[in-house]
Structure 1
Amino acid sequence: MEQIWDFIANIAWYWYLIAFIIIVALYDIFNKKHIILRNFPVVGHIRYWLESIGPELRQYIVANNREELPFNRIERGWIYASAKNENNYEGFGTDRDIYSHQYIFINNSMMPFKLDENHVTAKDPGFLPCAKIMGAAKNRKRPFRPRSVINVSAMSYGSLSAKAIEALNTGCKEVHAYHNTGEGGLSPYHKTGADVVFHFGTGYFGVRGDDGKFSMEKLKQLVKDHPQVRAIEVKLSQGAKPGKGGVLPGSKITKEISEIRNVPMGEDVLSPPTHSAFEGIQGLVDFVEKIAQETGLPTGIKAAIGKLEQWEELADIMKATGKGPDFITVDGGEGGTGAAPPSFADHVSLPWVYGFKDLYQVFQNRQMTEDLVFIASGKLGFPAKAAMAFSMGADVINVAREAMISIGCIQAQACHNNTCPTGIATQNKWLQRGIVVPEKAGRLASYFKKFNKEVLEITHAAGYEHPCQFDMRDVDVNIGDSNMTQTLEHTYKYQKTVVPFNGMQELKDCIHLGGK
Structure 2
Amino acid sequence: MEALFDFILVIPWWGWILLFLVLVAVYDIFINKKHTILHNFPVVGHIRYMLEGVGPELRQYIVANNREELPFNRIERSWIYASAKNENNYEGFGTDRDIYAPNYIFINNAMLPYKMEKGHPNIKDPYFLASAKVMGLYNKRRKPYRPASVINVSAMSFGSLSARAIESLNRGCELAHAYHNTGEGGLSPYHKTGSDVVFHFGTGYFGVRDEHGNFSMEKLVRLVEENPQVRAIEIKLSQGAKPGKGGVLPGSKITAEIAEIRHVPIGKDVLSPPCHSAFEGVDGLMKFIEDIAEATGLPVGIKSAVGKMDDWVTMADIMVKTGKGPDFIAIDGGEGGTGAAPPSFADHMALPWMFGFAEVYKIFKSKELCHRIVFVGSGKLGFPARAVMAFSMGADIINVAREAMMAVGCIQAQQCHNNTCPSGVATQNKWLQRGINIKDKSVRAHFYFKNFRKELLEMTHACGYEHPSQFTMDDVDLSLGDKNLVKTLSESFTYHKTEVAFKSVKDLQKCPYLGGKYNKKVEKKHVKELKKKDKVRF
What TM-score comes out, normalization by structure 2 length?
0.93
CA distance in 2, matches of 1:81, 1:117: 31
* Correspondences of 1:249-398 after superposition (within 5 Å): 249-398=250-399
CA RMSD of aligned residues (A): 1.9
Number of matched pairs: 515
Unaligned runs of 5+ in 2: 518-538
CA distance in 1, matches of 2:197, 2:347: 30
* Residues 45 and 266 of structure 1, relative CA distance in 2, 3 Å threshold: farther
CA distance in 1, matches of 2:344, 2:460: 38
CA distance in 2, matches of 1:274, 1:261: 18
Structure 1 residue 117, shift from structure 2 partner: 4.0
CA distance in 2, matches of 1:481, 1:421: 43
Equivalent residue letter for 1:165: I
CA distance in 2, matches of 1:233, 1:15: 67
- Per the alignment, residue 127 of structure 2 pairs with 126
The question of whether the paired residues in 2 share the 8 Å contact of 1:168 and 1:441 is answered with yes
Does 319-328 or 424-433 show the bigger shift?
319-328
The question of whether the paired residues in 1 share the 8 Å contact of 2:134 and 2:513 is answered with no
Equivalent residue letter for 1:155: M
Equivalent residue letter for 2:373: L
* Correspondences of 1:133-212 after superposition (within 5 Å): 133-212=134-213
- Per the alignment, residue 26 of structure 1 pairs with 26
Unaligned runs of 5+ in 1: none
Does 416-425 or 480-489 show the bigger shift?
480-489
CA distance in 2, matches of 1:247, 1:15: 52
Query: What SS is found at the alignment partner of 1:448?
Result: helix
CA distance in 2, matches of 1:54, 1:268: 34
* Correspondences of 1:439-458 after superposition (within 5 Å): 439-458=440-459
The question of whether the paired residues in 2 share the 8 Å contact of 1:246 and 1:338 is answered with no
Query: What SS is found at the alignment partner of 1:424?
Result: coil
Query: What SS is found at the alignment partner of 1:375?
Result: strand
Identity among equivalent positions (%) equals: 68
Structure 1 residue 159, shift from structure 2 partner: 0.1
Residues 360-401 of structure 1 deviation map (CA, whole Å, 9 limit, x = unaligned):
011110000000000000000000000000000000100000
Structure 1 residue 25, shift from structure 2 partner: 2.5
CA distance in 2, matches of 1:340, 1:391: 31
What stretches of structure 1 move > 3 A for 4+ residues in a row?
4-23, 246-252, 264-270, 511-516
CA distance in 2, matches of 1:7, 1:106: 78
Structure 1 residue 41, shift from structure 2 partner: 1.5
CA distance in 2, matches of 1:346, 1:125: 39
Query: What SS is found at the alignment partner of 1:444?
Result: helix
Residues 128-150 of structure 1 deviation map (CA, whole Å, 9 limit, x = unaligned):
00000000001000010000000
Residues 220-273 of structure 1 deviation map (CA, whole Å, 9 limit, x = unaligned):
000000000000000000000000013444454322112211223445443100
* Correspondences of 1:365-514 after superposition (within 5 Å): 365-511=366-512
* Residues 128 and 513 of structure 1, relative CA distance in 2, 3 Å threshold: closer
CA distance in 1, matches of 2:195, 2:160: 20
The question of whether the paired residues in 2 share the 8 Å contact of 1:151 and 1:177 is answered with yes
* Residues 247 and 117 of structure 1, relative CA distance in 2, 3 Å threshold: farther
Structure 1 residue 127, shift from structure 2 partner: 0.2
The question of whether the paired residues in 2 share the 8 Å contact of 1:251 and 1:418 is answered with no
CA distance in 2, matches of 1:10, 1:186: 66
What TM-score comes out, normalization by structure 1 length?
0.96
Structure 1 residue 5, shift from structure 2 partner: 7.1
* Residues 368 and 483 of structure 1, relative CA distance in 2, 3 Å threshold: same
Query: What SS is found at the alignment partner of 1:472?
Result: coil
- Per the alignment, residue 522 of structure 2 pairs with none
The question of whether the paired residues in 2 share the 8 Å contact of 1:172 and 1:444 is answered with yes
Structure 1 residue 481, shift from structure 2 partner: 3.1
Query: What SS is found at the alignment partner of 1:479?
Result: strand
- Per the alignment, residue 99 of structure 1 pairs with 100
The question of whether the paired residues in 2 share the 8 Å contact of 1:159 and 1:248 is answered with no
CA distance in 2, matches of 1:421, 1:251: 21
